[in-house]
Amino acid sequence: MGTNTDISANSEDGDGIDFTLEPNVTNCKNCEQEHEVGFEFCPHCGQKTNEDLTVGVLFYNTISNYFSFDARFFKSFIPLMFKPGTLAKRFIEGKRLLYLHPAQMYLFISVVFFFLFSIVSRDFVNKSDNVLEDGFKNEKIKDTLQTNVLDSADVAKITAPLKNSVLITGMDEAEVKALDSIITANANGNNVPTMDFGFNSKKVDSLIAIKAPEAEIYKAMGMKDDAGMINRRFYKQALKIYGQSGKGVIQTFIDSIPLSMFVLLPMFAFILKILFFRRGSFAHHLVFSFYYYSFLFTVFSLIVLANFAWEIPDWIDWLVALSTFLYLLIAIKRFYGQGYFLSFIKTSMATFVYMIFVVPIALTIMSIGAFLFY
């Protein structure tokens, strides 16, 4: 026909000719495997084949890779907030790709909450540091002056002349009463907020000033010669806090809150396991706990954001606390499939045990941790 066609011919048996068109292929930039040109995604690793790196792409990839901030998050958010227990139930039933993984959702929402919480807590931390610093200074002044607190009998002897107007000249009755109140307040030490160190701060300060060995300073603070490793660690941290006037203790405590969640959340799941021991494995209760904590952190984040606009009244705080309990009740009823009465009893028991035993234990651990790692 006068048309030229480029072909490659291979004759295998001499009886026929195999005409083969060479495919247009390229290599994936990620896995370096070959695939046909025109594919939007690599069939081997799944990376997008043609995607220019822009600031938007970089930001989206960071969020989606580390926090799975994609369409699944928005599909999961509405059920999380308005359909208690639904996400956990569907995840247990096997619908695990349609919604965001419970641990991923918890991670993302908790990071957002603690970021907001760190911002609003700065003012509280600064005020706490100032109060602690004033307390340390006042205690050092008291130790330096070596003031003795007078008892009621001594105060009565000192103020007795004030009752005799003949002995007082140039002062009216109001001035006499004012002087009497000042003497009484100063005698009882009520006007100076102090902190009881349990040792002579003047002596400790002098040892610190001359750069004495720590063992000698610890001894001045009350440590015995045969103190063990834990006791020595205690005095070491106490000296560190004393030297910095307590600054940073509150911040260290606040910083330990996210870590405490690794204790509080599994303990909550363990309580549910005890109350619903025939309703699945511990992993099932852990899934439920992840989603419930995600709800709590979402609510708290909204409260924090609302406080940026105006001061939240106390009645709203109580309403929020009540709403979290009602949410838990509905979620437990839906997830575990029991009646409202039995669900209410078990929800109340779980809340009581958690607040009375688990939270105080966690606060104690946080306080010890803040002291040891100050």
Tens of pLDDT, residue by residue over 172-224, are 666 556 656 655 555 554 444 445 566 777 788 888 888 888 888 888 888 88
Give the whole-angstrom CA distance, residue 86 versus residue 106: 16
For residue 279, which of 85, 98, 99 has the smallest C-alpha distance?
Answer: 85
| pLDDT for the residue 189 | 46
Give the whole-angstrom CA distance, residue 97 versus residue 342: 32
Tell me, what DSSP letter sits at residue 48?
B
* Token digits of residue 87: 């996400």
Tens of pLDDT, residue by residue over 303-354, are 888 877 777 787 887 888 889 999 999 999 999 999 999 999 999 999 999 9
| pLDDT for the residue 240 | 84
For residue 86, which of 359, 370, 335 has the smallest C-alpha distance?
Answer: 335
Mean pLDDT of all residues belonging to the chain = 78
| pLDDT of residue 21 exceeding 80 | no
* Chain centroid to CA 167: 64
- Cβ contacts of 5 within 8 Å, gap of 6 or more: none
Quick one: pLDDT band at residue 5, thresholds 50, 70, 90? very low
Give the whole-angstrom CA distance, residue 256 versus residue 2: 83
**Phi, psi angles (nearest 5°) of residue 26:** -145, 170
Task: Give pairs for 225-231: CB < 8 Å, separation 24+.
Answer: none
For residue 49, which of 62, 36, 59, 60 has the smallest C-alpha distance?
Answer: 36
| Residue 118 identity | S
Tens of pLDDT, residue by residue over 281-304, are 999 999 999 999 999 999 999 888
| pLDDT of residue 126 exceeding 70 | yes
| pLDDT for the residue 173 | 65
Tens of pLDDT, residue by residue over 253-276, are 888 888 888 889 999 999 999 999
pLDDT exceeding 70 applies to what percent of the chain?
71
| pLDDT for the residue 203 | 80
The three-point CA angle 200-203-205 to 5° equals: 105
For residue 196, which of 150, 143, 258, 254 has the smallest C-alpha distance?
Answer: 143
For residue 299, which of 84, 92, 70 has the smallest C-alpha distance?
Answer: 84
Please state the pTM of the whole predicted model: 0.66
For residue 140, which of 184, 188, 192 has the smallest C-alpha distance?
Answer: 192
- 248 and 115 Cβ atoms separated by less than 8 Å: no
- Rounded alpha-carbon distances, angstroms, from residue 272 to 190, 194, 224, 283, 287: 49, 45, 46, 11, 11
Mean pLDDT of 96-123: 88
- 327 and 306 Cβ atoms separated by less than 8 Å: no
Q: For residue 204, count CB atoms less than 10 angstroms from its CB and return exposed for 0-12, middle for 13-18, buried for 19 or more.
A: buried
SS3 97: coil
Quick one: pLDDT band at residue 95, thresholds 50, 70, 90? confident
Tell me, what DSSP letter sits at residue 162?
G
Task: Compare 173 and 128 and report the one with higher pLDDT.
Answer: 128
